[in-house]
Amino acid sequence: MAKAPPAHQRAFLVEAVRANALAMTVLERAAAMGLPDHGLMAGAVYQAVWNALTGRDAAYGVNDYDLGYYDASDLGEAAEDVVIKAGEAVFGDLDAVVEIRNQARVHLWFGAKHGVTRAPLTSTTEAVRHFASHTHAVAVRLDNAGKVDVLAPYGLEELFSLHVRPVASLADKAGWNAKCERQHKLWPEVRFDRTQFA
């Protein structure tokens, strides 16, 4: 699928995500919650593609389901906690960790946690644009007709190349190298570029 037309790559990604029943349940329930500008992000999406490309089970290696939404109307932690608590009720019966975070608040805590500062974001798509690798910069959500909508601000070529490169200005050395080490053990077919951080 590397170098395939973008429409073919998107269709492959959608089918890969659809193959994971748990991911689809998260998407359906997230849509029912009515979260503004939401998306299922990162590992649950790009790892589904890796699994489809390498012949693994659709849910193989997926540690959690990162569900982002964007609501700048109240940046207080208490407002986000209300949504997180609602999510615990919605997703609590699933055999999975669903982590919900308001992307409008990321700049308030990201630097202290990851050592890389973030400017305030303006949307969930912009949040995806600030992931530490273009390979990881993908999210999905269901549209009003129940079809899977793909958010991929850099396209999908990096994802389908099975080559993960960091964006130096967005990745921190310790976190990046730890993620590469962990994921390489699960997907040895994927090449991880750590040279910028050696």
* pLDDT tens per residue, range 123-154: 999 999 998 899 999 999 999 999 999 999 99
The model's pLDDT over 82-100, given as tens digits with 9 standing for 90+, comes to 999 999 999 999 999 999 9
Higher pLDDT, 194 or 180: 180
The answer to whether residue 188 is domain-embedded is no
Q: Which residue pairs, CB below 8 angstroms and at least 24 apart, start in 81-89?
A: 83/35, 86/33, 87/33
Per-residue pLDDT, averaged over 156-169, amounts to 89
For the whole model, what pTM was predicted? 0.91
With pLDDT > 70 as the criterion, what percentage of the chain qualifies? 96
Higher pLDDT, 151 or 195: 151
The answer to whether residue 17 is domain-embedded is yes
Please state the domain count of the chain. 1
Residue 101's beta-bridge partner residues? Answer: 68
The answer to whether residue 174 is domain-embedded is no
Q: Which domain holds residue 125?
A: 6-162
The answer to whether residue 47 is domain-embedded is yes
Q: What CATH number has the domain bearing residue 30?
A: 3.30.460
**Residue 171 clears pLDDT 90, i.e. is over it:** no
The answer to whether residue 110 is domain-embedded is yes
State residue 3's pLDDT score. 87
The model's pLDDT over 111-129, given as tens digits with 9 standing for 90+, comes to 777 777 778 999 999 999 9
- Contacts of residue 175, defined as CB under 8 A and 6 or more positions apart, other chains included, come to 114, 115, 132
Distance, CA of 56 to CA of 173 (rounded, Å)? 29
State residue 174's pLDDT score. 75
Backbone angles phi, psi at 101, to 5 degrees: -140, 140
State residue 140's pLDDT score. 98
The answer to whether residue 103 is domain-embedded is yes
The answer to whether residue 94 is domain-embedded is yes
Backbone angles phi, psi at 163, to 5 degrees: -130, 120
The helix/strand count (H/E) of the chain reads as 8, 7
State residue 172's pLDDT score. 72
With pLDDT > 90 as the criterion, what percentage of the chain qualifies? 78
Distance, CA of 100 to CA of 23 (rounded, Å)? 14
